[in-house]
């Protein structure tokens, strides 16, 4: 009896989880199915056909030839890459004194940093835009300035600083004292002793900052005026305007644009699903 109970319970759990999993991927699967259907197939057919009768790559080729995906991909790489790099450096720098040093105004700095967490970007984006304009960091000046405008407003945030601060707090103070006795100056202590010890936290910060920056849509869609600087999300949204009713192309383009982040996710999956890194990123 007990055995029967546990088997039926196991069945119930798997059935539910399989159902949730299907719901999670179905929108993408359906998009893929549509993208693989050729012109001879009616994509609005009733009843809907799940498996394309004559699967074809034509839509992928067609949309690839009309949309500079490689360019959008490179733009996204440049923006996300530098955003990650700056976040790592600036967070690790700022977190060190907050974790380890005594200085005048520490409380003010600490609470001011904390306060920025409570300021949603969406509420201040207009003045941020005005400031970026004043600094000429827009793509109409040149592409380097365009990139700067996309990157600098997100070059550091309080989450990253607090995440690194927690990592520094976990290191025994004796490490620094020993290094000082050995003749290291404070920058050497930071760079040669502490940074190597917080590498796992830096990896977590890098990965979550990358995901956030890669998916960012609101800000690039505000500042960008030229297609040559479009990042992937902006390019994907643009598909809707370019191929208004051609859902085969829109679907194929959306899937092409998703491949890079999918590869990244599969490669780094243990960071996402280990369950130890919650709070590393917040919406």
Partner 1 sequence: MYKYYKKYVPYLFLLPAAVILILFFFIPFFETIILSFFDYNSNIYSPQFVSLANYTELLKSPIFYKVLLNTFIYLIVAVPFLVVIPLIIAIMINQKIRGITLYKIIIYLPVIVSIVVAAIAFKWLYAQQGILNYVMALFHVDALGWLTDPNIALYSVIIVTIWKGIGYYMMIYLSALMSVPKDLYEACDVDGANPLTKHLTVTLPHLMPTIGLVTTISSISAMKVFVEIYVMTKGGPLDSSKTIVYYIYERAFENLDLGIASAASVILLVIVLVLSIINFVFFENKQYQL
Contact 181, 113 (CB under 8 A): no
CB of 40 to partner 1, least distance (A): 18
Closest by CA to 239, choosing from 63, 23, 84, is 63
CB of 159 to partner 1, least distance (A): 10
Q: Give the nearer residue to partner 1 in terms of CB position, either 79 or 211.
A: 211
How many Cα neighbours within 13 Å face the side chain of 217?
9
Q: 215-254: which residues touch partner 1 (CB under 8 A)?
A: 215, 217-218, 221-222, 232-233, 236-237, 239-240, 247, 250-251, 254
Decide: is 106 part of the binding site for partner 1 (CB under 8 A).
yes
CB of 110 to partner 1, least distance (A): 5
Under rule CB under 8 A, how many of the chain's residues touch partner 1?
A: 102
**CA Rg, the chain, in Å?**
24
The CA angle 167-173-179, to the nearest 5 degrees, is: 105
Q: 67-96: which residues touch partner 1 (CB under 8 A)?
A: 89-91, 93-94, 96
The CA angle 75-76-78, to the nearest 5 degrees, is: 65
Decide: is 131 part of the binding site for partner 1 (CB under 8 A).
yes
Of the candidate spans 28-36, 62-70, 138-146, 197-205, the one that interacts with partner 1 by CB under 8 A turns out to be 28-36
Decide: is 66 part of the binding site for partner 1 (CB under 8 A).
no
Number of H helices, E strands in the chain: 15, 0
Query: What are the structure tokens assigned to 14, written together?
Result: 């798997």
- List the one residue from 211, 224, 229, 252 that touches partner 1 (CB under 8 A): 211
Contacts of 19 (CB under 8 A, 6+ apart): none
Of the candidate spans 54-62, 77-85, 152-160, 192-200, the one that interacts with partner 1 by CB under 8 A turns out to be 152-160
């Amino acid at each position: 009896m007990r055995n029967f109970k546990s088997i039926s319970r196991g069945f119930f759990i798997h059935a539910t989880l399989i159902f949730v999993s299907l719901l999670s991927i179905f929108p993408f699967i359906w998009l893929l199915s549509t993208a693989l259907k050729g012109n001879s197939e009616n994509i609005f057919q009733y009843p809907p056909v799940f498996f394309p009768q004559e699967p074809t790559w034509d839509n992928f080729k067609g949309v690839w030839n009309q949309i500079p995906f490689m360019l959008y991909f490179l733009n996204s790489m440049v923006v996300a890459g530098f955003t990650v790099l700056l976040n790592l450096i600036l967070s690790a720098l700022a977190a060190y004194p907050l974790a380890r040093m005594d200085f005048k105004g520490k409380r003010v700095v600490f609470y001011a940093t904390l306060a920025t967490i409570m300021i949603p970007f969406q509420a201040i984006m207009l003045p941020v835009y005005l400031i970026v304009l004043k600094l000429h960091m827009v793509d109409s000046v040149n592409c380097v300035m365009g990139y700067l405008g996309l990157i600098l407003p997100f070059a550091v945030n309080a989450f990253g600083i607090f995440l690194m601060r927690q990592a520094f707090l976990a290191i025994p103070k004796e490490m620094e004292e020993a290094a000082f006795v050995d003749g290291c100056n404070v920058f050497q202590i930071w760079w040669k002793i502490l940074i190597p010890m917080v590498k796992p936290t830096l990896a977590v910060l890098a990965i979550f900052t990358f995901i956030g920056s890669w998916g960012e849509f609101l800000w690039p869609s505000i500042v960008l005026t030229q297609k040559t600087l479009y990042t992937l999300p902006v390019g994907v949204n643009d598909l809707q305007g370019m191929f208004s009713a051609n859902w085969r192309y829109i679907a194929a383009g959306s899937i092409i644009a998703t491949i890079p982040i999918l590869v990244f996710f599969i490669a780094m999956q243990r960071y996402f699903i280990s369950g130890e890194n919650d709070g590393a990123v917040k919406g």
